[in-house]
């Protein structure tokens, strides 16, 4: 990617791309090296505990449980740095992202099984938008009656839609509490991905629709 250092927009795109790839490298280091090494250590300890006569005195079960706990913490850290499906496809990354929230929110998803790959920095931004929205929805009262997340790919255009419905009317201040934290992400989406969005905020229904061009059919005006 050629950078025009005198152009703030190009610099912002480069910085976001650089951060995304650095986080990707750190997450891959955790998954492909640290977790593998910890698994090997745990396996050696298991074998040693099975064959050593003083295993009980060494308190093998306690040490194995501690290794298992550390493994889970490290795995969680890698997933927070980057979804393990980030490089596979946006639908898989979104499914992985919303899964922890499905016990807190009435979430339904409509995600296509096949998807053209997006740049990592684009997928990461969309994931961050969804995560931020779900976090604020789950921490606010009242909770939604239902939340729909849909991803579509039509010809040269991709579209992410999130629609949230409530049983009661919401005051403007409450709606602002949910929507305001999303504005920097939406503006970054416009700048970084050269996309556009609709935001419809009604007393009982909140809707966000994000649209962007496919990588194989870029908007000629952005060249």
pLDDT in tens, 137-177: 999 999 999 999 999 998 889 999 999 999 999 999 999 99
Q: What is the pLDDT of residue 220?
A: 37
pLDDT at 214 over 90: no
Average pLDDT over residues 62-68: 80
Q: What is the pLDDT of residue 222?
A: 38
Average pLDDT over residues 11-31: 74
Specify whether the CB–CB gap between 163 and 109 falls below 8 A: no
**Residue 210: which of 163, 159, 157 has the closest Cα?**
159
pTM for the model stands at: 0.71
pLDDT in tens, 76-93: 777 666 777 777 789 999
Q: Chain-wide mean pLDDT for the chain?
A: 84
Distance CA 137, CA 21 (A): 29
Residue 113 exposure: Cα atoms within 13 Å on the Cβ side:
0
pLDDT at 218 over 60: no
pLDDT at 216 over 80: no
């Amino acid at each position: 990617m050629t950078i025009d250092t005198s152009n703030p927009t190009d610099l912002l795109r480069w910085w976001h791309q650089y951060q995304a790839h650095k986080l990707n490298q750190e997450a891959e280091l955790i998954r492909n090296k640290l977790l593998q090494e910890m698994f090997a250590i745990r396996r050696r300890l298991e074998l040693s505990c099975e064959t050593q006569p003083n295993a009980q005195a060494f308190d093998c079960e306690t040490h194995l449980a501690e290794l298992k706990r550390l493994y889970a913490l490290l795995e969680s850290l890698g997933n927070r740095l980057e979804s393990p499906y980030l490089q596979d496809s946006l639908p898989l990354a979104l499914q992985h992202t919303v899964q922890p929230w499905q016990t807190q929110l009435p979430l339904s998803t409509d995600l296509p099984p096949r998807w053209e790959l997006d740049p990592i920095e684009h997928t990461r931004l969309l994931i961050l938008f969804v995560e931020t929205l779900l976090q604020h929805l789950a921490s606010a009262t009242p909770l939604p009656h239902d939340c729909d997340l849909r991803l579509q790919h039509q010809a040269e255009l991709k579209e992410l839609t999130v629609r949230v419905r409530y049983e009661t009317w919401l005051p403007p201040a409450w709606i602002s509490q949910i929507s305001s934290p999303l504005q920097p992400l939406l503006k970054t989406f416009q700048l970084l991905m050269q996309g556009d969005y609709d935001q419809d905020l009604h007393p009982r229904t909140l809707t966000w629709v994000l649209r962007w061009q496919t990588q194989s059919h870029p908007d000629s005006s952005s060249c």
